[in-house]
Amino acid sequence: QTYTANRTLPYTQAALFKVIADIDAYKHFVPFCTDSHVTQHTNDSTPLPTQADLKVGFKQYQESFTSRVHCVPDTSVQAVASQHPLFKKLVAAWRLSRVGEDACKVQLEVEYQFVNPLYGAVSAAVVPKVAGQVLEAF
């Protein structure tokens, strides 16, 4: 299953990229993210995340997973979750494109497949709402 959300925001690509790539800060503002830590990053003058641990949850339900992260400065951030007992596949891709002097189109695409098909059926109603809330947080 894939869900895509688009928004045009009054910020530059560079400003939005900086927020999206700051995975350590997700725990402070991303809905349902209860913890976030970059565990590996590039070794250059402007380090970018290459691996991160996230914990997401709602009420008593909590899940933790590790993602490989690929960043293209000011353009995109993609996170691919490693093997997890809940998901067969979980990929989040952020894409940024300039829309004017100080505006940017942001696209969030979430591709996922649960191990349990029942979760997949239930998630069809929930994922668009959650993804929309995540995009609004940025």
The pair of structure tokens assigned to 48 is 């970018």
Residue 120 pLDDT > 90, yes or no? no
CA angle centred on 91, ends 46 and 47, rounded to 5°: 5
In this predicted structure, what is the pLDDT of residue 57?
A: 81
Domain 2-137, CATH homologous superfamily name and number? START domain (3.30.530.20)
In this predicted structure, what is the pLDDT of residue 74?
A: 96
Rounded to two decimals, what is the model's pTM? 0.83
Question: What pairs with residue 16 in β-bridges?
Answer: none
| Residue-wise pLDDT tens digits, 63-114 | 888 999 999 999 999 999 987 777 888 899 999 999 988 899 999 998 888 7
In this predicted structure, what is the pLDDT of residue 62?
A: 84
In this predicted structure, what is the pLDDT of residue 61?
A: 78
Locate the DSSP E strands across the chain.
Answer: 2-9, 33-41, 49-58, 61-72, 76-81, 87-100, 103-114
Which of 21-28's residues contact partners 24+ apart within 8 Å by CB, and which partners? Answer: 21/48, 21/49, 21/71, 21/77, 23/49, 23/52, 23/54, 23/69, 26/54
| Residue-wise pLDDT tens digits, 22-71 | 999 999 988 888 999 999 999 888 899 999 999 988 777 788 889 999 99
In this predicted structure, what is the pLDDT of residue 44?
A: 80
In this predicted structure, what is the pLDDT of residue 26?
A: 92
